[in-house]
Amino acid sequence: MYGSENNRDDSERTAFRRAEKKYKLYYDNNASSKNKKKKQPKPVDLTEVLDFRAILECYLRNGALPPGVIVLHDNFTSPVFSLQNRPGFYFIPGALTIEKQCSLIKESLTDFPQPPNRTNHNAIYGPIQDVFGAAKEGKVLVEDNSPIPSSETGADIDNGDCKEWKFATQKEASLRKCKSVSASALLRKLRWSTLGLQFDWSKRNYDMSLPHNKIPEPLCELAKQLAKSALPAGVEFRPEAAIVNYFGLGDTLGGHLDDMEADWSKPIVSLSLGCKAIFLLGGKSREDTPLAMFLRSGDVVLMAGDARECFHGVPRIFTDEENAEIGHLETQLSHEDDLCFLKYIQTSRININIRQVF
């Protein structure tokens, strides 16, 4: 992602890029011989990272707030915070109940990546049914040598030579002697899925011609309620599209703008699930020094108005037991039927961001 800047020294990097580099996961190559088999992450200085959970606890205890942080008194279970120097940015710590977090984690892995919703796998394999279920059963995706009829491929699907891919058992795959990839590998390489109006990453726009399912009504209602903090009284938010991002150990989301929607006065509603992450909120130029803040499971971020013009990204997620801070999810997902979800989320983060397109 950042290969073009690998050989630059810090004086040549933008302020945003320097912050990304500061918090990104790097490994210590000088680990002791005893630990050489297990790579050790290099220590990172987190003293300047804004912690809205700690701010919330302090505010509830004595009403105190750090300089530059403002609290809005809304009808949410948790206060809504904003920043004086980043108008249009709102942070709601712990906005989602544990039950809602677990429900959204399950949907993000089982329902949201299902066709006709698109994922990053579409470009190579076409639409794939139930990657999570296939991974749970230890299946393998194999190439079917019979071409798919053109009426079934659709103009929106680009999967190489238009061969069909199907899940099979390990034994079936070994007998077929064709291209294959394990479902578990596909699950780990799942990077995004799209709900509602489908975003075409190659053209960087919303393609109205692509088939899609509507955003589930409960998720729409949740987004509408959360968006109220970022909107004038009486103005309604219409959830029309959502992108679900999946992060594993070492994954990052580079600094970017979400600028493909028509009305920037309407917020992006961003829900965090799973392992803790660092979020960078910059300014309107990459040269503006970004603020770093922790994002934990259940936190919600809203970006509207001026904040829509601010560069932002995720340079780090924490999957180690000490820093992931997912004990509440481990307790909630401890039932035997939920262990497959627990295993995934113990080393992953999911972000659901909902948008009004028009």
| Feature table: binding site | 256, 258, 312
Alpha carbons 54 and 61: distance in angstroms, whole number: 11
Report the 10 Å Cβ neighbour count for 13.
16
Cα of first residue to Cα of last residue in the chain, in angstroms, is: 30
Phi, psi of 353 (to 5 degrees): -120, 125
CA distances from 155 to 149, 159, 199, 211 (A): 12, 11, 15, 11
- Helices assigned H by DSSP within 155-269: 170-176, 183-188, 217-227
Cβ contact 249:277 at 8 Å: no
Annotated binding residues for Fe cation, written as ranges, equal 256, 258, 312
Pairing of strands 205-206, 199-200: antiparallel
